[in-house]
Structure 1
C-alpha cells in the first residue's frame, strides 16, 4: 500500500488543479490558441515563472502528463498474457486510457485537440514517443526475430493502432459523445485488418 501524499504534494496538486480550472475556463472563453500563458498566470494569481513550475507548457494543461500515460499503457501491455496476440494485447492496454486522470472532461479535451494546431502537434509528438515505448513488446508479440531495436513492422503496428485510436476519438467527438469510442476503435482496426 502506497504512503499517503505529503502535505506538500497535496498542496501542489491543489494548486495545479486550480491553475488547470482557470486555464480551461479561459480556453472555453477565448479559445486555446488565443489564450496565453501570461493570461493564465494572471487569472490564477501567480507569476509566469510559477506557472512553469507546475506545467511545462499550456498544452500539458489539456493533455495531462503524456509521459506517465505512455508508461501506464506500456505497463498494461507488458502485463498482458505473453501468448496473447498483438491486436488484443494493444487494445486491452489502450483501454487503460479510459480511466486516465485527464485535467478536463474527455469530450472537451477531444474537441480542443481536434481544433488547436499546437495541441495536434503535441499529440503527434506523444505518439512518436509511445511508438518507442510500445514497439518492443509488440515486436515480441508479432514473433519477429530478437533484435536490439524494434523492427519497423512493430513500429508501424503501434503507429496503426494509435491512428485507429485517433480516428475513433475524432468520430466520437463528431458524434458529440453519442457513439461508443471502443466500438469505433474496433471498427477502425477491423478495416485495417480486412
Structure 2
C-alpha cells in the first residue's frame, strides 16, 4: 500500500493562497474600474444637465434684449453681442447631480452661442488597488448650443418713420412666428416664442 508523501499538501497550500490572493486582487481591480466608469458617467450626466440648464436660462434671459432690438431695428447688433452666461443655473443643476462646476464659459457668435461647462464629481474612486485614488474624482465637460433658427425677419407695414407694425420670422424648421410691435411688452410673449426662435441642444466640442 502506497502512502501519499506528507510534503505534497504543504507545497500546494502556498500556491492555493497565491491564487486566491490573485483572484481577490483582480476582483478589486475590476470593481475599481467599474466604479471609476460609473463615476465618469455620472459626472458627464451632470455636465450635460448643467450646460443645457445654463443655455435654456440664457435663452430665457434674451427676451427683453431681443424684443427691444426689434423695436429699435437693431436685431443684428443684438445677435452678435456677448451675453452673460447664467452660471448659477449651471451650478444648481450640477449640485443636483452631486457635482460642482469648475468653469462656465460663453462663446458668442452671429446666430449661434455656446456655453461650455466643466464639472467634477464629489465622490472619489477610493480603491485600495489604485494608489492615489482616495482623492481622485471624475471630471467631465459639456457644451450646449443656443442657435437662432429664424433669420431674415420680414417687416410688415412700416410707417414713414420706419416703425414696423409687426415682424414675421420664417424659421428653418418651417415654423412661422409673428411678433406685433404692439405686443412686445405683453407678459408671456417671450415664453411663447423663444423655443421656436432659438434652439438649445448639446453639441460636441
Name which one, 1 or 2, has greater alpha-carbon Rg.
2
Q: Which has the higher strand share?
A: 2
Higher RCO, Cα 8 Å, sep 6+: 2
TM-score normalised by L of structure 1 = 0.31
Structure with more of its chain in helix, by fraction = 1
